[in-house]
């Protein structure tokens, strides 16, 4: 699976993603994010202002996003690697609309929330049922 549409469909169908960052002393941190959307080849997500994740991204913007379906029959997952940064007000409004299309119940309040964009650098596809179990695809190959 290295087709962009298949990858996007797999990512879109997940209930949440797992965000991996690094804290100020170098420890890896992981947490679930439900309010996300796909923006081209990149991922945008909403989070509260001044959360640990926004502070960690401000210091070290290298992140990984893990997508894995619940109850899937084949052991498969997709990991997106990239650089994360906070969007400005205008970009945040557009991204919030994308997130709301996917998760209508989520509210975005620019007084309380920020939108983070992860610019995809590469994607790792893990599928134990495939001949090649692990494939890493550069973002440029998907555009």
Q: For residue range 3-32, what is the model confidence (pLDDT) as tens digits?
A: 778 888 888 888 899 999 999 999 999 999
Q: For residue range 39-81, list pLDDT tens digits in order.
A: 989 999 999 999 999 999 999 999 999 999 877 766 689 999 9
The closest alpha carbon to 80, from 130, 41, 113, 27, belongs to 41
Count: domains in the chain: 1
Q: What is the DSSP code string of the chain?
A: ---HHHHHHHHHT-S-EEEEEE-TTS-EEEEEE-SEEEETTEEEEEEETT-HHHHHHHH--EEEEEE--TT-SS-EEEEEEEEEEE--HHHHHHHHHHHHHH-TT----TTTEEEEEEEEEEEEEEETTSSSSEEEEEHHHH-
The closest alpha carbon to 62, from 115, 20, 122, belongs to 20
Please tell me the pTM assigned to this model. 0.91
Position 1 confidence tier, pLDDT thresholds 50, 70, 90: very low
Q: What CATH number corresponds to the domain at position 74?
A: 2.30.110.10
């Amino acid at each position: 699976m290295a087709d962009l549409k298949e990858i996007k469909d797999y990512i879109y169908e997940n209930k949440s993603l797992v965000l991996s960052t690094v804290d100020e002393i170098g420890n890896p941190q992981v947490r679930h994010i439900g309010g996300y959307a796909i923006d081209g080849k990149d991922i945008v997500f909403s989070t509260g202002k001044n959360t640990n994740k926004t502070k960690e991204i401000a210091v070290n913007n290298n992140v990984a996003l893990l997508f894995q379906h619940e109850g899937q029959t084949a052991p498969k997952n997709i990991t997106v690697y990239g650089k994360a940064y906070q969007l400005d007000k205008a970009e945040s409004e557009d991204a919030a609309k994308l997130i709301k299309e996917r998760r209508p119940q989520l509210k975005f309040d620019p007084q309380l929330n920020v939108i983070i964009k992860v610019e995809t650098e590469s994607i790792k596809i893990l599928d134990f049922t495939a001949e090649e179990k692990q494939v890493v695809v550069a973002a440029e190959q998907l555009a």
